[in-house]
Amino acid sequence: MRGAVATSATRVAWARRRRAVAGAWGDYRRSRTGMVGLAVLVLAGLVALGAPLLADEAELRAVNAIDNPSWAPPSEFPPLGTDNLGRSVWAQFVWGSRISLLVGLAATVIAIVIGTVVGVSAGFVGGRFGGLLMRGTEWFLVIPFLPLAIVLAAVLGPSIENIILVIGITSWPGTARLIRAQVLTLKERLYVDRSRAFGASNRHLMGRHILPNVMPLVLANTTLTVPIAILSETTLSFLGLGDPSRASWGKMLEEAFHAGAITREAWWYFLPPGLGIMLVVLAFTLCGQALEAILDPRLRERRS
Amino acid sequence: MSARRLLVGLLAAVAILTLAAGAAAQGTGERLILTVGLDNDVDSLNPLVGVEVPDYEVWNLHYATLTDKAAEDFETIPGLAESWEGSDDGLTWTYTLREGLLWSDGEPLTSEDVAFTINRAREEGWLNYDSTVANITASAPDERTVVLESSVPDPKLPTMDVYILPEHVWGELGPREITRYDGLDGVGSGPFTIAELRRGEFWRLEANENYWGGRPAIDEVVFRLFNNADAMVAALQTGEIDAAHYVPESSFAELAETEGIVAVEGQQGGFDELAINGGDGLKEPHPALMDLAVRQAIAHAIDEQTIIDRVLEGLGSPSEAMSPSADPEWTPEIPEEERFDFDLDRARELLDEGGYLDTDGDGVREMPGGGRPLDFVYAVRTESQSAPGVAEFVSGWLSEIGIATTQQPMNDTRLTEVIGRGDYDMFQWGWVPFVDPDPMLSYFTCDQVSADPDEPTNYYNDANLCDPEYDRLYEEQKVELDKERRVEIVHEMLRRFYSQAVYHILYLSPDLQAYRTDRFEGWVRQPADVGPVMFSNSSPSYALLRPVSEEDEAAEGGGEAAAATDDDGGMSTGTLVALVALALLAVAAAVWVLRRRRTVDERD
């Protein structure tokens, strides 16, 4: 019989969660900017995932583009023209979106995981241990990002994994502080006290009450961290610290800049990656803001 | 309180007056400054050890040489020495110095300085002097006479083009100190002397009042570094700089058409090579590269013409053998059967025969019998405009024959170090040879293979290959007075060197330069008609430059204005539309986000 009760409790919990998600989605749908952001992201995701269908990977290599004209404008070599070495800009744009998004997302995952673990432990455990963690966080926070990232990228060597690692381990402190603040308010709530009085262990409290309640905040924070990570990837690639063997939007900009695309006014070379970065970053920001507005009651729109 | 106020007032007055005075001084004593833009930093201004092209430009201006080189054809002409005479056997040469020579600090420049430089260079084997003075003893019987005695016949004499150092400054340095000296004392004998060096930014030379050829017409030469070639071109177009060295291929044609700017394609035998670690230095490369067949396969996998067409935009010419001199007669033709022509099938065949097979099916071959994959580290110079493009092509072709490459961007200082330590597989770099082939040939002797782990950069052999037969031929040509025979020996050496496949010549590249005509005139090309106007063998332009006279300037100004309007019209409509669209989009996005924020706040 106990089993049956437990099952139905789980079912009830799931039903509640589904309702909550449906409610949140309803709120989200009402946000016009959020929907625009989401649409752009879906499109970018489709381009990245469908890269093999949209352009042949072999076109990325200059040795396979020997028959193409170099510096050809889009009118001569549709859809986006060619670069100084005759490579198709479209192929680079499409395949570059993969690296840019991958680095953005993967670095964010690292940052969010570190940030959440540090934030929750510092907030929940508190005391000397929490203080120590927060001092460590502040130490990371005051280190200027770019020099640290440049040094790390130079020492570790230019590869996609290292770029992800570098961005990941330099962009978690903000998240950690945010999560800690939330945990500090959560752990003083009545239901936590009540649960503790019933004899709940720290593990139970953390897993059942604290974590599920910071998760929405983590989600909103994630969508706001991704654009920063993408911009960081662009910055590092532009400075020549990216993976030289893989096309990314940042690397395209770097190559266009060094090949003299600007003096040559080869706008088809530098505009696509530039616009791509701008749109994706904007879209993530719009989504993040829309989520924030739903999750933060102070920003929530009153229902009529 | 009032006293303090008075003090503040006084201080302010003093400050204003000082500023005004400064401004006035600037207005009256306007200095004629020539600014040259370039993208390559100096590595050391010590003429014993520096190796980079910009170093030579500074030394050419800062130090005079015993004999000079004619701007037209490199012919040996009087320098510090006004005349010379040889003995019948050609071993002893007596030079007479000009009268009243002075260093830039006012000290007399005598035959003692010349003897000091040559003798100490020989005794201590100074890196940049050794190939010229190794067999020469100098003596100074009186203040204006220098006698050079060569222990062997020397085809280069009476040319003596090593930089003469001031004994009263350099004589105080010990043998170890002298190679580490920064060379920034400012005491020189050329038309300009070094006054300031800020690494990564600029270096500045001032006119030498005591120059034997007379004080130059311009007061200062400033070399300004640019990280980006486009920015350098823009600076030239706006008149921020007067001349630019290493103009990018992509903007060369445009500059050539611009009124008021002269673009120069300067041929002086400069080339770029793909060097492979020969393994005789301090460290061995990937084991596969120790196999001649693998190196030959790599050579077969490179299509120089495509690199010239694509990366250099056609501004370059192919060459099989290395060019050791500004004069093309020293460069041999490689017979067809010995050539490593572009042939990917032949390259694959060589690797297959050597047992380098792709046993695990990942597209990359492994060492015979499996094991370590053929993945080579390829150092890509960050200070070169062509390196990334060349690397893209070379990596592409190598991957087609089953060889992987890991590209490692490196700046010149780091790459020099890495080469000295032998800690690399391959890299692309270039040389600009001198007039006599001897120095360039000397770089690939066994002596020049890095052997001292403490001073790994005090060696030249960046092929890290030691071939005793090459050394024997080198010694032979060094003492061959018959020019025809010497050319033959040099050709044999270079064919031999070519066959080792450690030094793959990618192309002969002209120095692309451009200068403005509105402020200075009198640029000369060295050699005449085909050479560059700067960064040439003895850099004669700077001392000859003079300000454009007033009437000329007016005419030039008109031309410049016309050029400027031309430029504006040249901006393509596509770019304009695209930029405007981008700006509008950004503004719209910002407004949107801001409004959204505000309404959220209002709803609060």
Q: What is the pLDDT of residues B505-559, one digit of tens each?
A: 999 988 999 999 999 999 999 888 888 999 988 899 999 999 987 555 555 444 4
Same domain? B115 vs B175: yes
- pLDDT band of A154, cuts 50, 70, 90: confident
Same domain? B416 vs B480: yes
CATH label of the domain that carries residue B220: 3.40.190.10
State residue A127's pLDDT score.
84
State residue A5's pLDDT score.
55
Compute the distance between CA of residue B278 and CA of residue B290 in angstroms, rounded to an integer.
Answer: 7
B305 touches chain A (CB under 8 A): no
Same domain? B415 vs B279: yes
State residue B250's pLDDT score.
82
Whole-number percent of chain B with pLDDT over 90: 50
CATH label of the domain that carries residue B178: 3.90.76.10
Tell me the mean pLDDT in the region A268-277: 94
State residue B598's pLDDT score.
56
Count A/B contacts: CB-CB distance under 8 Å: 103
A75 touches chain B (CB under 8 A): no
CATH label of the domain that carries residue A202: 1.10.3720.10
Compute the distance between CA of residue B162 and CA of residue B103 in angstroms, rounded to an integer.
Answer: 16
DSSP code per residue over B530-595: TS-SSSSSS--HHHH-EEPPHHHHHHHHHHHHHHHHHHHHHS-HHHHHHHHHHHHHHHHHHHHHHH
Q: Which of A216, A73, A243 is nearest to A161 (CA)?
A: A243
Looking at the structure of chain A, the number of domains it has is 1
B583 touches chain A (CB under 8 A): no
**Which residues of B, range 393-412, sit inside 8 Å of A by Cβ?**
393, 395-397, 399-400, 406-409
The pair of structure tokens assigned to A268 is 């088809």
pTM: 0.78
- pLDDT band of A159, cuts 50, 70, 90: confident
**Which residues of A, range 113-172, sit inside 8 Å of B by Cβ?**
157-158
Distance from CA of A30 to the nearest CA of B (A): 13
Looking at every residue in chain B, the average pLDDT score rounds to 85
State residue A10's pLDDT score.
76
Whole-number percent of chain B with pLDDT over 70: 86
User: What does residue A120 show for φ and ψ, rounded to 5 degrees?
Assistant: -65, -45
State residue B371's pLDDT score.
84
Residue B28 has pLDDT above 50, yes or no: no
Compute the distance between CA of residue B487 and CA of residue B118 in angstroms, rounded to an integer.
Answer: 27
Same domain? B351 vs B485: yes
Inside any domain, residue A16: no
Q: What is the pLDDT of residues B291-332, one digit of tens each?
A: 999 999 999 999 999 999 999 888 888 999 999 998 888 999
Compute the distance between CA of residue B55 and CA of residue B49 in angstroms, rounded to an integer.
Answer: 10
Residue at A233: amino acid letter: E
Tell me the mean pLDDT in the region B119-126: 91
The pair of structure tokens assigned to B320 is 């099989």
CATH label of the domain that carries residue B340: 3.10.105.10
State residue B604's pLDDT score.
43
Check whether the bond before A79 is cis (ω within 30° of 0): yes
Three-state secondary structure readout of chain A? CHHHHHHHHHHHHHHHHHHHHHHHHHHHHHCHHHHHHHHHHHHHHHHHHCHHHHCCHHHHCHHHCCCCCCCCCCCCCCCCCECCCCCEHHHHHHHHHHHHHHHHHHHHHHHHHHHHHHHHHHHHHCHHHHHHHHHHHHHHHHCCHHHHHHHHHHHHCCCHHHHHHHHHHHCCHHHHHHHHHHHHHHCCCHHHHHHHHCCCCHHHHHHHHHHHHHHHHHHHHHHHHHHHHHHHHHHHHHCCCCCCCCCCHHHHHHHHHHHCCCCCCCHHHHHHHHHHHHHHHHHHHHHHHHHHHHHCHHHCCCCC
Q: What is the pLDDT of residues B53-82, one digit of tens each?
A: 899 999 999 999 999 998 888 888 999 999
Tell me the mean pLDDT in the region A25-48: 91
Q: Tell me if A260 and B229 make a contact (CB, 8 A cut-off).
A: yes
Compute the distance between CA of residue B375 and CA of residue B509 in angstroms, rounded to an integer.
Answer: 29
Burial class (CB in 10 A: 0-12, 13-18, 19+), A169: middle
Domain hosting B75: range is 64-183
Tell me the mean pLDDT in the region A50-70: 88
State residue A276's pLDDT score.
94
Same domain? B371 vs B346: yes
Looking at the structure of chain B, the number of domains it has is 4
Specify whether the CB–CB gap between B507 and B181 falls below 8 A: no
The domain boundary residue, chosen from B149, B167, B183:
B183
Same domain? B173 vs B194: no
The pair of structure tokens assigned to A53 is 């269908």
The pair of structure tokens assigned to B550 is 């007033």
Inside any domain, residue A6: no
Tell me the mean pLDDT in the region B398-412: 90
Tell me the mean pLDDT in the region A122-142: 89
- Which residue shows structure tokens 């066994």? B446
Same domain? B370 vs B424: yes
Tell me the mean pLDDT in the region A234-257: 87
Same domain? B428 vs B407: yes
- DSSP three-state, residue B270: coil
The domain boundary residue, chosen from B120, B149, B183:
B183
- pLDDT band of B576, cuts 50, 70, 90: low
Name which of A267, A289, A302 is nearest B574 (Cβ-Cβ): A267
Domain hosting A273: range is 31-303
Q: Which of A227, A216, A261 is nearest to A100 (CA)?
A: A227
- pLDDT band of A91, cuts 50, 70, 90: very high
Q: Which of B233, B223, B119 is nearest to B167 (CA)?
A: B119
Same domain? B442 vs B399: yes
Inside any domain, residue A15: no
The domain boundary residue, chosen from B183, B216, B243:
B183
Same domain? B228 vs B372: no
